[in-house]
Amino acid sequence: MIMKLPVIIFSLLFSFSEAFCQGGNLQFNRVLNFTSGANYTVPQGKVLKIESLNTHIVATFRIWKVGCDTLSYPGLCYYSLGYSYEAPVQIGPLKLNSSQSAFGNVNSNGHLIYNIGIVTNNCINCPNYIDYVLSITGHNITMPIWLSEGELVKIINYQSALSALSAYSGIHISAIEFNIVP
């Protein structure tokens, strides 16, 4: 009986762990590397494990005015990074923005907010375009980052920058895609 007790306890623990376990097992699918212009959505039935993020870029982009605020916060101009980008780098809910201090955050439409410092009730004081300096040269992000189905990995197309980039510049993300197996 004493010999059977550990076997019974182990069997019960295994049964309970199986009953309360959710999801499934993960099965390796492929390695993904993202860089300039990446736009990836985690497919259904898969998860993505971000293993590394390397950011070293200082580049200038011309961004165009898409509107301004004439009611709630007069003097705020809105500019677009293009292609529905809310930030130059997006990993799921994490958004890495430039250190350019002239820009605040993003509005609900994903446009960069630029404060011209003048309270105005029209958009005439907002420049039609601004040269936006993208400067992301370091980060303090704990890895790994897990993304579930439907979450995004996006990197702005920095190859279209106005300024020349060095051979060592760039944004690089390495990840592993897994299948969820029941």
Specify the amino acid at residue 53: L
How confident is the model at residue 93, as a pLDDT?
A: 87
φ/ψ of residue 107, rounded to 5:
-85, -175
- Residues lower than pLDDT 50 in the chain: 12-21, 101
Side-chain half-sphere exposure of 60, counting CA atoms within 13 A: 6
How confident is the model at residue 103, as a pLDDT?
A: 56
φ/ψ of residue 23, rounded to 5:
85, -130
Whole-angstrom Cα Rg for the chain: 23
Compute the distance between CA of residue 75 and CA of residue 157 in angstroms, rounded to an integer: 29
Strands 46-69 and 129-136 turn out to be: antiparallel
Compute the distance between CA of residue 181 and CA of residue 62 in angstroms, rounded to an integer: 45
pTM of the model: 0.69
Parse the chain into domains and list their residue ranges: 24-181
The H helix count followed by the E strand count for the chain is: 1, 12
Distances (CA, A) of 135 to 8, 16, 67, 77, 169: 60, 51, 24, 21, 11
Q: How far is CA 172 from the centre of its chain?
A: 12
Instruction: Say if CB 98 and CB 133 are below 8 A apart.
Output: yes
Q: Which two tokens stand for residue 65?
A: 């005015």
